[in-house]
Amino acid sequence: MMPLPITEDDLNGFVDGTLDPNRHVEVSAYLDAHPHVARRIAVYGEHRDMLRDAFAPVIDEPVPTELDLSRMIAERRLPRQAPRWAMAAAAVLLLSVGVAGGWSLRGMDSPTSEGVQALAREAAASYATYVPDQVRPVEIRATDRDVLAAWTTKRVGRPVGIPDLTAAGYRLMGGRVVPTEHGPAALFMYDDDRGTRLVMLARPMKAEPALPMSLHAEGALNSFAWADHGLGYSLVGAVTPDRLHPLADEVRRQIRSEA
Amino acid sequence: MGEARLSSKGDTVNYEMVRLIEPQIPALRRYARALMRERAAADDLVQDCLERAISRWHQRRQGDDSRAWMFTILHNLAMTRLRRASQRPIHIALDDADAANFASAARQEDGLRHRDLVNALAQLPDEQRTVLLLVTVEELSYADAAQVLGVPIGTVMSRLSRARERLAKLMAAEPRTARQSPHLRSVK
């Protein structure tokens, strides 16, 4: 049987030691018969060894403190944006003191528009349906983030950013497309590993493409809703407004920075 | 580290992350150093890479090889920086930078040859330099290198081949070598 012709890939594989034993023997024989090629391959091997040697000292260096992984993880639990969050919390506190009655059902940017109220209602309804679901709270899990993004983009009719709330301690569980009175919406669900779940709903806002953030409450459930560039968003959870507000701000910030 | 806010589940996830990523840090620093050349710039890059890895850990697909995953993050960050840097002219005394960064070779002769090689490597286009480093220094399989670079294996092979050829040419044309063989200089 005729051996296959020797290719450049074989020669590189020879240098990198990736050939199977039979092929290795064939390439060796070829190199014995072709000293000119053999010299070139020897140089390649020499360069490989030299490159390894040249960069080897880096491996033995002590790892600098800034690259201590455990420390980095520990610091993330106290979110890096702590000052900004503290400011947001302080602002919320001041505002609630200012209106003396505390948080109203109307939200903080009154008068609240009809559209954003509908959005908040729809988000609360989705929350009530899917969050308690033990079997399938989400249809597409976070591990298939790309699938989720593609699906929601297709049904909502435009890309919907999937916010990352890891720094705030909330892990993306996944999401689904849900029906609303105003057409298909994207739903993303988050979990803080202590059983607190948040739902973010996003759908087109035809009448009012941009609206400031407002608070809506329904029993223990709170939501912040707003609209940007023709998409309405609502972040809802059984979380106090002062804890939910910075999360909503972070979601809005991420979506704006992606746009 | 006495923070007790995460549940045991969160701690398990973190433990797994530390167990898988931490051993890779020296190699990540090595690849970053080879690309950025400067120690501070390289470690800064690795720090960004680790932060990104922490925040995206939960997005990792099951069965993903954590080493290829980490190198992919690092590589993409490095390419973004190098591209940004190439838009501005940079003036680094390369020899000085290398002398400080790779000066620990035991013998002076080795040190000089390493410096020549590292300088020659720096002259390769990014797409050749990266594949050569990933395959030879980091010893990634061709498949993993393809994943890190986001190209098919065939592209990895052709870039690798061109990188080696080019590096050999550059090294053969090094001044010290050229002095010994003046004929090479009169060609072209």
- Topology adopted by domain B1-91: Rna Polymerase Sigma Factor; Chain: A (1.10.1740)
Instruction: Give ∠ CA A11-A12-A18 in degrees, rounded to 5.
Output: 100
Determine the average pLDDT of the residues in B143-159. 96
What is the ipTM, given to two decimal places? 0.81
pLDDT digits (tens, 9 = 90+) for B64-89: 789 999 999 999 999 999 888 776 54
Inter-chain CB proximity A69 and B161 less than 8 Å: no
So what's the pLDDT on residue A1? 59
Inter-chain CB proximity B136 and A48 less than 8 Å: yes
How long is chain A?
259
Residues 127-156 of B with CB under 8 A from A: 132-133, 135-137, 141-142
Size of interface A-B (CB pairs under 8 A): 126
Does the pLDDT of residue B107 top 70, yes or no?
A: no
Instruction: Enumerate domains of chain A plus CATH numbers.
Output: 8-60 (no CATH), 77-258 (3.30.200.100)
Give the number of other CB atoms < 10 A from CB of residue B185: 11
Does the pLDDT of residue B145 top 50, yes or no?
A: yes
Q: In a 3-state reduction of DSSP, which class is residue B114?
A: helix
Whole-prediction pTM value?
A: 0.55
Residue in the structure block whose two tokens are 């932060």:
B51
So what's the pLDDT on residue A91? 54
Instruction: Compute the nearest-CA separation of A216 from chain B (Å).
Output: 28
Short-list B168, B94, B34, CA closest to A42 = B168
Q: Name which residue leads in pLDDT, B35 or A74.
A: B35
So what's the pLDDT on residue A87? 53
Give the highest mean pLDDT range of A115-124, B34-43, B168-177.
B34-43
Distances (CA, A) of A41 to A8, A36, A55: 10, 9, 21
Q: Name which residue leads in pLDDT, A217 or B63.
A: A217
Determine the average pLDDT of the residues in A118-122. 88
pLDDT digits (tens, 9 = 90+) for A55-96: 999 999 999 988 988 888 877 765 444 445 555 555 555 454
The alpha-helical segments, DSSP class H, found in A131-259 are 145-156, 241-258
Confidence of residue A203 (pLDDT cuts 50, 70, 90): very high
So what's the pLDDT on residue A27? 96
Q: Name which residue leads in pLDDT, A33 or B111.
A: A33
pLDDT digits (tens, 9 = 90+) for A205-236: 887 788 888 888 887 888 999 998 889 999 99
Considering only the beta carbons, identify the residue of B114, B118, B157 that sits closest to A12. Answer: B157
Q: In chain B, where are the structural domains located? A: 1-91
- B167 near A CB under 8 A: yes
Percent with pLDDT over 70 in chain A: 85
So what's the pLDDT on residue A212? 86
Considering only the beta carbons, identify the residue of B55, B121, B135 that sits closest to A164. Answer: B55
